[in-house]
């Protein structure tokens, strides 16, 4: 009953915030006025906020800003020994610095290190926390540019990337993060610049309990669907997530913006029902995976679980099965990657549910920005399939979907499976690397490798921790997977947006398939499931499905 109560409170909080936040996001990105601070910032950076960009220029801004961010974060880690508050932790190795820089810039936040042992507070605050803000703002900017492609007519302009980036950070992410950081501190999340507290254990041994400016990073880590924790135990650590209330608040934060963006879509296209349909599809996929994982973890599957009454291995007693399952599906259904339990210890079916949430393309409800443009791409594919069945040119939100549009959508949805399957296959062909990295073999070992590249390719960041990825080979290949998994879909989406914006709006006729009813919602849900099944069923059958059946 406590689990159902927490689920009910979470859904109630999202329902209360849905309309006001969704409408506010629409006003932020549709508004033409810049405040005084923004105008000064634009003058300093020599940006013309009134100029609009073609999709190619917009994409160049995304890529250029991200490249500079990777270089800056890489150098920050390599020069850590010269920075204040480094606590003698020294420079990060080249391969780990590359992997971490790519990870945080791509909104993946995959971590192959223990944060409290490797990084000092300056790198955490100036490097990682800053990227938590701007990488999330980049995702929202791309999503808004895509929506403008449906809204605008006979133009090749999608807005200004720099304006969208600045507004996302200053008007949305910073204010919400500031308020909720205070809330988290009030509920017990640590916020300190000290290295740690020296203690003496019961056995007389001396040790240090690490401290950090946790609350300020924890809030944007969830709100921006980032996921990288200051402590190695991530959101299962009592300094990051001390009790049931912080667990509920943080779970709310990681779902807040992805859910509200469906309302923003409806407002911007002038038909709120369009957003409700997409929200319904996201909710069905999220609820389905939650049901599977919750049921699997609540039922015993071995002698240890039978004695405990449930599969409690790897879960915090203060959260239990319901809150652990709820968090696992929320964090893998978005691109967050934060964990409050050990996914590697989930049952075969429970871990498979978390894995499948990512393999859907993280559209349930997806990451900040990435979720809404991901589900829109799936909607285009669904309409294309419907057009094939009835023998007419498909259209969606008043725009025709021709060869160029469908090709861009296909590239966007195929990028992730290509990265995941090629990366997993390459790793399996490296017995020397796997021998040093894997602690499990058989079906579970395959699941660990598949999960790692799925997490990287989907820019998620969570992991089955039975796979050690500190070797140069894994650092490099996972970093490449993150880059392709992030930027190939972004380029395809922006190209698609540019093509849509050049079109005139097509009037609805008797032959137009309605996209605001249960028929389209069913088609879209089926398309998401079908694409994932056709692509990943063989790999899943050898991994989590085989483990569950065993």
Mention every residue, 6+ apart, whose C-beta is less than 8 A from residue 340: 234, 235, 236, 241, 247, 316, 319, 323, 324, 327
DSSP 173: I
User: pLDDT of 475-526, one tens digit each?
Assistant: 999 999 999 999 999 999 999 999 999 999 988 877 788 899 999 999 999 9
Supply the pLDDT for residue 308: 66
User: pLDDT of 109-164, one tens digit each?
Assistant: 999 898 899 999 999 999 999 999 999 999 999 999 999 999 999 999 999 999 99
**Per-chain mean pLDDT for the chain:** 93
d(CA 326, CA 337): 13
Other Cβ atoms closer than 10 A to 318: 14
The number of C-alpha atoms within 13 Å of 347 and in the hemisphere containing its C-beta is: 23
User: pLDDT of 212-221, one tens digit each?
Assistant: 999 999 999 9
Supply the pLDDT for residue 345: 87
pLDDT above 70 coverage of the chain, percent: 98
Supply the pLDDT for residue 256: 97
Burial of 307 (0-12, 13-18, 19+ CB in 10 A): exposed
User: pLDDT of 412-440, one tens digit each?
Assistant: 999 999 999 999 999 999 888 888 888 87
Say if residue 390's pLDDT is above 80: no
Supply the pLDDT for residue 475: 95
Mention every residue, 6+ apart, whose C-beta is less than 8 A from residue 175: none
User: pLDDT of 292-327, one tens digit each?
Assistant: 999 999 886 667 676 667 788 889 999 999 999 999
CB-based contact 90:81 (threshold 8 Å):
yes
* Residues 409, 415, 416, 420, Cα dihedral to 10°: 150
d(CA 349, CA 334): 19
d(CA 19, CA 412): 29
Supply the pLDDT for residue 463: 86
HEC readout, 299-324: CCCCHHHHHHCCCCCCECCCCHHHHH
d(CA 148, CA 377): 14
3-class secondary-structure state, position 197: strand
User: pLDDT of 336-379, one tens digit each?
Assistant: 989 999 988 888 889 889 999 999 988 999 999 999 999 999 99
Other Cβ atoms closer than 10 A to 36: 7
> Is the backbone of residue 316 left (phi > 0), alpha (psi -120 to 50) or beta?
beta
Supply the pLDDT for residue 304: 67
With CA atoms as reference, report the closest residue to 375 among 489, 292, 454: 489
d(CA 314, CA 234): 13
Supply the pLDDT for residue 444: 86
Supply the pLDDT for residue 547: 83
Supply the pLDDT for residue 312: 86
Name which of 74-83, 93-102, 132-141, 301-310 the model is least confident about: 301-310
């Amino acid at each position: 009953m406590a689990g159902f109560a927490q689920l009910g409170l979470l859904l109630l909080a999202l329902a209360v915030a849905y309309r006001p936040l969704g409408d506010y996001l629409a006003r932020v990105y549709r508004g033409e006025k810049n405040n005084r601070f923004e105008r000064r910032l634009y003058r300093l950076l020599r940006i013309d906020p009134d100029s609009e960009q073609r999709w190619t220029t917009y994409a160049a801004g995304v890529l250029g800003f991200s490249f500079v961010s990777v270089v800056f974060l890489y150098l920050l880690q390599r020069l850590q020994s010269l920075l204040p508050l480094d606590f003698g932790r020294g420079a990060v190795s080249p391969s780990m610095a590359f992997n971490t820089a790519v990870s945080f810039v791509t909104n993946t936040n995959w971590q192959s290190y223990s944060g409290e042992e490797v990084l000092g507070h300056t790198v955490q605050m100036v490097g990682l926390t800053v990227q938590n803000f701007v990488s999330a703002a980049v995702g929202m900017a791309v999503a808004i540019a895509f929506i403008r492609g449906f809204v605008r007519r006979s133009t090749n302009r999608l807005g200004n990337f720099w304006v969208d980036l600045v507004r996302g950070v200053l008007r949305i992410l910073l204010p919400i993060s500031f308020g909720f950081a205070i809330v988290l501190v009030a509920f017990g999340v640590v916020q300190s610049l000290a290295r740690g507290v020296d203690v003496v254990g019961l056995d007389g041994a001396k040790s240090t309990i690490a401290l950090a400016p946790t609350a300020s990073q924890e809030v944007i880590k969830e709100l921006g669907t980032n996921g990288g924790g200051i402590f190695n135990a991530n959101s299962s650590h009592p300094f990051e997530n001390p009790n049931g209330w912080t667990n509920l608040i943080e779970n709310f934060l990681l779902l807040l913006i992805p859910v509200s963006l469906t309302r923003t879509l409806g407002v911007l296209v002038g038909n709120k029902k369009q957003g409700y349909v997409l929200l319904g599809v996201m909710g069905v996929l999220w609820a389905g995976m939650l049901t599977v994982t919750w049921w699997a973890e609540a039922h015993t599957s071995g002698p240890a679980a039978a004695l405990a009454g449930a599969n409690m291995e790897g879960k915090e007693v203060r959260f239990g099965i319901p809150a652990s399952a709820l968090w696992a599906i929320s964090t893998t259904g978005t691109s967050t990657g934060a964990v409050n339990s050990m996914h590697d210890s989930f049952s075969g079916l429970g871990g498979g549910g978390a894995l499948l949430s990512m393999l859907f393309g993280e559209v349930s409800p997806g990451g900040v920005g990435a979720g809404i443009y991901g589900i829109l791409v799936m909607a285009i594919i669904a309409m294309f399939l419907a057009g094939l069945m009835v023998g007419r040119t498909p259209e969606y939100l008043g725009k025709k979907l021709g060869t160029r549009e469908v090709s861009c959508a296909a590239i966007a949805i195929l990028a992730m499976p290509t990265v995941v399957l090629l990366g997993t296959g390459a790793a399996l062909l490296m017995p020397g690397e796997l021998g040093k990295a894997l602690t499990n073999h058989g079906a579970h070992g395959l699941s660990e490798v598949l999960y790692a590249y799925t997490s990287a390719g989907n820019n998620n960041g969570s992991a089955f921790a039975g796979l050690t990825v500190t070797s140069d080979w894994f650092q490099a290949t996972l970093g490449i997977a993150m880059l392709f998994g992030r930027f190939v879909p972004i380029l395809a989406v922006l190209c698609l947006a540019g093509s849509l914006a050049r079109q005139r709006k097509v009037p609805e006729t008797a032959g137009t398939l309605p996209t605001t009813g249960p028929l389209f919602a069913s088609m879209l849900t089926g398309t998401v499931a079908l694409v994932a099944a056709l692509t990943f069923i063989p790999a899943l059958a050898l991994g989590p499905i085989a483990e569950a059946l065993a």
